[in-house]
Structure 1
Amino acid sequence: MKTDTIFYTLLQNLPSVLFELLEQSPTLALHYEFSSVEIKELARRLDGLFLPKPEYPQDPIYFVEVQFQKDDNLYWRLITETFLYLNQYKPERSWQAVVLWANRSIDPGIPLAYQGLLASKQIYVVYLDELVDTSSSIGLGIIKLVVAPEGEAIQQAKSLINLVKKGDAANSRDLLELVERMLVYKFSSYSRQELEAMLGLTEWQQTRFYQEVKEEMELKTIPRLLKEGLTVEQIARVFELDIEVVKQAIKKQSSK
């Protein structure tokens, strides 16, 4: 499970979750653009950057770091990257660095040199497994699902899906797709059919993500079906694809 991918996807699609973790109003997400920005001096990128829109000059910049394994140098690296960013871009704003640890046991503690930043809340630490009531928040529910042991995750996934279904119908399709992505990451060893049966999913077959994955798998299967003796026309009928799509897939596979 690639947790950096999971959280980048979550923050990109549901940025309000950051402000819920900070115990602030989720509507503050409307003030921000989420991105990753290159720091030239280090030739690397900041993965989680919430940069306020120009019309909200009073709002701070948030630097977000997610960590799921022990890293004794995380605070040193994060603060170095933060100050290099501030030096490079020279924003006229305040800032806060937010560290999301999977659990407290892997946090080595903030170095003495930076403990003043913790006291002033310029460094804000959250332990994701200690989140308590996530029953009314889809974003927090997804985080709880990601950090949950597999034995507990199934029931949490079902509750999360039910929460999505009860929400705004206009947004439910996009939210279901986001939850689906998280489930695929979380239960990567399960087949899609197993997940559907285990979680009682039917609606996700209509999401864009499902269709993209379905088409990708179908196109990868085409060469094997050709070897079994099926014709292009037969394959097109099996997958309900246009014949030209099948031909293009065969051409693409043969050029590799």
Structure 2
Amino acid sequence: MKTDSIFYRLFQEFPNIFFELIGNSPETANLYQFSSVEVKQTAFRIDGVFLPIQDEEVPIYFVEVQFQPDTDIYLRLVSEISLYLRQNKRKNSWRGVVIYPSRDIDKGEKQDLWEFFHSQRISLIYLDELGEAASLPLGIATIKLVIEEEDTAISTARELINRIQQSVNLQLPQKQLLELIETILVYKFPKMSREEIEAMFGLSDLKQTRVYQEGRLEAKLEAVPKLLVLGLTVEQVAQALDLDVAQVQQVEQRTQSNE
């Protein structure tokens, strides 16, 4: 699994984490929907975009996760954004956010684009400079788990899982976050199976509880309308989410009746 796909999944499921990461109130996420966008007649695809909901007068956020050195990243990012704005004619202002594991990976040429950085039109985030995981909000601490060294990733993951389990009134987003931690661990320890990781961290016992199973089903059902909007058929959505076709059809009908 590519590292950036973990981040885009995280921002899709927990958009509030992104806004915490850039220093905004987590509630700002209520004004946005996260998606990827195509720029027509080019080879450009912008994988991470927070688009304002209902023409809210807030900026569009273009997100780039960069774990490999790339001298052209800023020229490419500004080019993609400019083409998107030209084609979509949105009235909103915009911001760019580039997320790096560490400062030494940032090799992008800035000499022709200093104005964007001085004005904070484009901001840079270096994950290893965010602080210790124990002192960070749960979502941001989970982001840091991606860059954790193997010899400390296990202990850090255990601390995160304990924080989740000890939370009062465990809510659905936290259950999704637990699954995301598991996915990150599978990515970091490719020689271990998912079952082995679940056993190591006691996740298998937690997943057998009725509350967890109900929460997981609810999360899948909430994802159905988003996948249908993207153009997937009912059968494709059912297969992707491991649901019955009838369950997907019920959500589709309920969504249509509410429009």
Q: Name 2:19's counterpart in structure 1.
A: 19
Say if 2:70 and 2:108, in contact at 8 Å, map to a contact too: no
Q: Name 2:139's counterpart in structure 1.
A: 139
Residue type at the aligned position of 1:130: E
Residue type at the aligned position of 1:148: E
Say whether residues 1:204 and 2:203 are aligned partners. no
Say if 1:3 and 1:68, in contact at 8 Å, map to a contact too: yes
Residue type at the aligned position of 1:132: G
Say if 2:98 and 2:125, in contact at 8 Å, map to a contact too: yes
Distance 1:4 1:91 in 2: 27
Provide Cα deviations, 1:68-107, integer angstroms capped at 9, x if missing partner: 1111111111110011111111110111000001111111
Shift of 1:43: 3.2
Partner of residue 176 from structure 2, selected from 144, 159, 174: 174
Distance 1:133 1:89 in 2: 41
1:71 partner SS: coil
Residue type at the aligned position of 2:123: Y
- Higher mean alpha-carbon deviation, 199-208 vs 33-42, is at 199-208
Q: Name 1:104's counterpart in structure 2.
A: 103
Q: Name 2:56's counterpart in structure 1.
A: 56
Q: Name 2:222's counterpart in structure 1.
A: none
* Structure 2, unaligned runs of 5 or more: 218-259
TM-score, structure 1 as length reference: 0.75
- TM-align CA RMSD: 2.0
- Higher mean alpha-carbon deviation, 198-207 vs 31-40, is at 198-207
Q: Label 1:192 to 1:205 Cα distance change in 2 as closer, same or farther (>3 A).
A: farther
Shift of 1:197: 3.5
Say if 1:61 and 1:95, in contact at 8 Å, map to a contact too: yes
Identity fraction in percent: 46
Aligned length: 209
Say whether residues 1:71 and 2:77 are aligned partners. no
Distance 1:44 1:109 in 2: 18
* Structure 1, unaligned runs of 5 or more: 213-256
Say whether residues 1:117 and 2:109 are aligned partners. no
